[in-house]
């Protein structure tokens, strides 16, 4: 039996400007259920603007985008989406919420009014804490843990509704090398285990090459969008990014396959 493949995210000819500056231009692509897309591009290439526009947080000048077939601006079923915004740096000070409370708050968008948490929510909170590897610090105050631990608390919050679409904007930036592998490992299993669609904005070419099924390269416009295999086989890509980027992304250094970098 063939599995029905649904389009989860679609962008059609999106243009977004801030004043005179055009952050996105003629951006079109679609992402289907279960794809793990690494969004890459230089600083200022519009990656954050793109995910915010897809989520209906920025209004495009022209063009359109949709989530689960609904225009982004009208989408309201936020329990289906987990979003980890780009880190603004660590939360410090006496912010009076524990890790457990921050994570539990992720349940609220799925609630009808009145939006209360109940004792029965403990199981979902525990699972999310364990998935993000922070069960051991659940009762610490958010301001008293490291930036990497905080990022994982926000990841747990993004995961708690078992979202069909998970959007992560540079999560690696706040992670120390020890927690990085766990973090990416956790995310990488979701498409196969739960059919989750993942959009990961990252500068980390090695991680992108290792985990992503699809690549979306942005430089205000879409420079490349396609499967990792097409990316690795493309001589155009090599011309644009140089052989080094292709090498780092296409040679899975964990032994996942031969290096496809041609020697000519
Ligand atoms: P990236 O995430 O790839 O680094 P951004 O989407 O954050 O890129 O930014 C794209 C461009 O838009 C940059 O030149 C940035 O300076 C500009 N920009 C982003 N957000 C704003 C904003 N709120 N106001 C004005 N300019 C912005
Ligand atoms: Mg950004």
pLDDT along the chain (264 residues), means of 10: 76 96 97 96 95 96 97 92 80 80 85 67 87 90 86 88 92 71 83 94 86 94 93 78 75 53 43
My answer on whether 77 and 203 are in the same domain is yes
CA-CA distances (angstroms) from residue 248 to 53, 54, 178, 216?
29, 28, 21, 16
My answer on whether 41 and 130 are in the same domain is yes
The answer to whether the CB of 49 is under 6 A from ligand 1 is yes
**Amino acid 262: pLDDT:** 43
Number of C-beta neighbours around residue 135 at 10 A: 16
My answer on whether 167 and 103 are in the same domain is yes
The answer to whether the CB of 44 is under 6 A from ligand 1 is yes
How many angstroms separate the CA atoms of 87 and 134, rounded? 18
My answer on whether 224 and 261 are in the same domain is no
In a domain? residue 177 = yes
Q: Distance, CA 220 to ligand 2 centroid (Å)?
A: 12
The count of domains in the chain is: 2
My answer on whether 27 and 49 are in the same domain is yes
**Is the peptide bond between 114 and the residue preceding it cis, with omega within 30 degrees of 0?**
yes
Expressed in angstroms, the distance from the first to the final Cα of the chain is 43
Q: Distance, CA 44 to ligand 2 centroid (Å)?
A: 7
Short-list 99, 37, 80, 52, CA closest to 228? 37
| φ and ψ of 55, to 5 deg | -85, 5
In a domain? residue 2 = no
Taking the model in full, what pTM does it have?
0.87
**Amino acid 2: pLDDT:** 53
Residue 226 lies in domain: 7-233
The answer to whether the CB of 43 is under 6 A from ligand 1 is yes
In a domain? residue 25 = yes
């Amino acid at each position: 039996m063939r599995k029905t493949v649904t389009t989860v995210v679609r962008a059609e000819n999106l243009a977004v400007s801030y004043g005179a500056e055009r952050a996105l231009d003629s951006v079109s692509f679609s992402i289907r259920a279960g794809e793990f897309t690494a969004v890459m591009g230089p600083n200022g290439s519009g990656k954050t603007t793109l995910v915010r526009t897809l989520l209906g947080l920025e209004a495009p000048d022209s063009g359109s985008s949709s989530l689960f077939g609904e225009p982004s601006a009208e989408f309201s079923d936020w329990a289906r989406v987990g979003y980890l915004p780009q880190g603004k740096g660590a939360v410090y000070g006496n912010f009076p919420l524990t890790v457990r409370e921050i994570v539990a708050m992720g349940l609220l968008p799925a609630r009808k009014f009145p939006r209360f948490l109940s004792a029965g929510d403990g199981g979902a909170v525990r699972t999310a804490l364990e998935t993000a590897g922070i069960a051991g610090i659940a009762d610490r105050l958010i301001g008293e843990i490291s930036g990497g631990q905080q990022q994982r608390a926000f990841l747990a919050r993004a995961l708690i509704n078992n979202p069909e679409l998970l959007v992560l904007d540079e999560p690696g930036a706040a992670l120390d090398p020890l927690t990085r592998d766990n973090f990416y490992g956790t995310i990488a299993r979701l498409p196969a285990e739960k059919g989750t669609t993942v959009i990961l904005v990252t500068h980390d070419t090695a991680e992108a090459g290792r985990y992503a099924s699809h690549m979306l390269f942005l430089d205000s416009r879409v420079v490349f969008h396609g499967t990792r295999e097409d990316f690795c086989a493309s001589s155009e890509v090599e011309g644009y990014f140089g052989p080094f980027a292709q090498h780092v992304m296409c040679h899975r250094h964990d032994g996942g396959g031969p290096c496809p970098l041609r020697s000519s």
